[in-house]
Structure 1
Amino acid sequence: MTNDQRTLTNPPTESEALVGGMMNTGAVIRHGALVERPAPPTARALHAHLRALEEHGFDAAPKPIRLTADGREQLTFIPGDVALPPFPRWATTEPALRSVGVLLRRLHDAGAAIPLDTSAEWPRSLADPEGGTILCHNDVCLENVVFRDGHAIALIDFDLAAPGRPVWDVAMTARYWIPLLDPTSSAVSFPTGLDSTARLRILADGYGLAPQERAELPRVVEQATASCRAFAADRVADGDPTYTRALSESGGWQRWDRIEEWLAAHRETFTTALLS
């Protein structure tokens, strides 16, 4: 949903606007080895968390450099490949999917050792409604993962990070990467022939999801989907032109109805596959 990097390896050194994502459109600029973008309200707490992640062995995120006087932030640029819709085949291979699960687990393992900043007003729009003890990314979509040689090597754009359960972040990630969409919706941006049930198991295996969390995952995905729908509804109600246009082009709220019905119909199939 958000974005701070859309380019490939060996990028030019001149300043350039980075494209992609649905937020901060046209406002993310790369200056050589730095990315400058609008700073989120939680920037100070988020920058401290990113530095702590690196101290705990997670080097797969942009490094914060500074906040500017005009409300922007500077982060290190991470060279690599970032998939944009319509998503290419290389981004939907089984090794790519498994590597996303591995990367997310690394994030959570490092984050578990970092005390949460309870004074920060973390965004609630896509946060786990049950809360939690780690800072979830909450937006591990294809556009927010950097790849090299077909494997995920970094996560970008932590604007929506908020406290939650690890399984919530896995559910959010699964929505995008499986993808957990009805076939009509999936065909808009994804290659045909993807096996949702098998791919959900691959992501869970790559992450190393525990049995109890595997049993919970299908229902948490439905809960996360409802949160994403509410997020989009709030954006449209506020008159956000990007989300209003996206809703119109995707078939309106009937698309969301279709997705939620499809998820409910496949709940038992997904649960069986995850636990088998």
Structure 2
Amino acid sequence: MSEQRLDGGIANAGQVVRVGPHVLRPSSPYSGSIHAFLRAVKDAGFEGAPMPAGIDEDGRERLVFIDGEVPVAPYPDWSQSDTALASVARLLRGLHDAAREFDPQGLAWNDGLADPAGGTIVCHNDVELSNVVFRDGVAVALLDFEFAAPGRPVYDVAQLARLCVPIEHDFDQDRIGWQPADRQARLRLVADAYGLDRDGRAELLPAMNDALARIEAAARRSLASADPNAVAMMNQRGGIEKFDRRRRWWTARYDQFANALL
């Protein structure tokens, strides 16, 4: 069958294709661990992730294609709705619940965006809109588990909020097509839809600090390595200066976000 290129991605941009009922993408040293995890959550009843079908002789991993809409920047209006955001948070909760019986010890994981505090639940760590499959405006599946690693579920919620509230300076939100919105209310919506309890809400903003520091460190490492895809994406999204803008924006509004979670 012919290969149909799929849009999105950074490190694997242009290398992810659909072939009939499957998606082919470059494998990594972590593919075996990720495939074991995906099979485990499927066995636990979670339907919102692609099933692995193995690794081909050419080194590409093969996963079952999930039909639906995957938004890419500039994000369409429907994907920025509160309905869409709440559905993503509920889907992430389903993943975490299904992951609780999976033992990640002894397996290799990508620590590029992993929770610096560690943990025992395998988290996605990169739930942005282009890694979510929607049907009729509701999230039905998560894609691209490349950065999956053990951590705290609240850290994964913080990464989701960072990317989908989003936690970003207005200038950089505009660059990737985010419409003006009440970001504090959207963070509260994430916490409500996911089902964070009182302790989880108290941990969310410190976890957000960890998530913001983690992605900045990862971006600086990518630029230092002169990865052409990373450099191109960074230039498209406001340059390395975006992290300074984000830090100032987040610090100035921290108390407002804290009050929104009360």
Deviation per residue, 1:228-262 (Å, 9 max, x gap): 01111111111111221233344433211010111
Other-structure match for 2:223: 236
The residue number in structure 1 matching 2:91 is 103
Q: What is aligned with 1:211?
A: 198
Q: Larger deviation: 211-220 or 227-236?
A: 211-220
More displaced 10-residue stretch of structure 1: 36-45 or 143-152: 36-45
Q: Secondary structure at the match of 1:81?
A: coil
Report if the CA contact (8 A) 1:53-1:110 is conserved.
Answer: yes
Q: Distance in 1 between matches of 2:249 and 2:174?
A: 14
Q: Are the structure 2 counterparts of residues 183 and 28 from structure 1 closer, same or farther at C-alpha, using a change threshold of 3 Å? A: same
Mean Cα deviation higher: 248-257 or 133-142: 248-257
Q: Distance in 2 between matches of 1:247 and 1:77?
A: 29
For residue 132 of structure 1, the aligned residue among 79, 102, 119 is 119
The letter for the 2-side match of 1:92 is: Q
**Aligned partner of residue 241 in structure 2, secondary structure:** helix
Could you tell me the TM-score, scaled by structure 2's length? 0.96
User: What is the distance in 1 between the residues matched to 2:102 and 2:242?
Assistant: 39
Within a 5 Å distance, the mapping from 1:89-100 to structure 2 comes to: 89-100=77-88
Contact 1:222-1:263 within 8 A present in 2 as well:
no
Separation (CA, whole Å) in 2 of partners of 1:106 and 1:121: 23
Q: For 2:243 and 2:236, how far apart are their aligned partners in 1? A: 13
- Provide, for residues 155-181 of structure 1, a one-character-per-residue CA deviation record: whole Å limited to 9, x for no partner: 011011000000110000001110111
* Structure 1 CA distance for aligned equivalents of residues 107 and 39 of structure 2: 16
- Does residue 184 (structure 1) correspond to residue 182 (structure 2)? The answer is no
- Maintained 8 Å contact 1:222/1:264: no
Q: How does 1:126-275 map to 2 (within 5 A)?
A: 126-275=113-262
Q: From the superposition, tell whether residues 245 and 15 of structure 1 become closer, same or farther in structure 2 (CA, over 3 Å).
A: closer
Where structure 1 has 5 or more consecutive residues not aligned to the other structure, the ranges are: 1-12
- In structure 2, C-alpha distance between the alignment counterparts of 1:31 and 1:135, rounded to whole Å: 28
How many Å separate the matches in 2 of 1:191 and 1:160? 24
Instruction: State the Cα distance separating 1:21 from its structure 2 match.
Output: 1.4
Structure 1 residue runs of 4+, over 6 Å off?
A: none
Is the Cα–Cα contact under 8 Å of residues 83 and 138 in structure 2 kept in the other structure?
yes
Please list every run of 5 or more consecutive structure 2 residues that lacks an aligned counterpart in the other structure: none
Q: Describe the shift of the 1:147–1:123 C-alpha distance in structure 2 as closer, same or farther (beyond 3 A).
A: same
Aligned length: 262
Structure 1 residues 217 and 70, CA gap change in structure 2 (3 angstroms): same
- Between the aligned partners of 2:151 and 2:220, the Cα distance in structure 1 is 22
Q: Name the SS for the 1:224 alignment partner.
A: helix
Percent sequence identity is 44
Contact 2:48/2:142 (CA < 8 Å) preserved in 1? yes
CA root-mean-square deviation? 1.3
Bigger shift: residues 210-219 or 164-173: 210-219
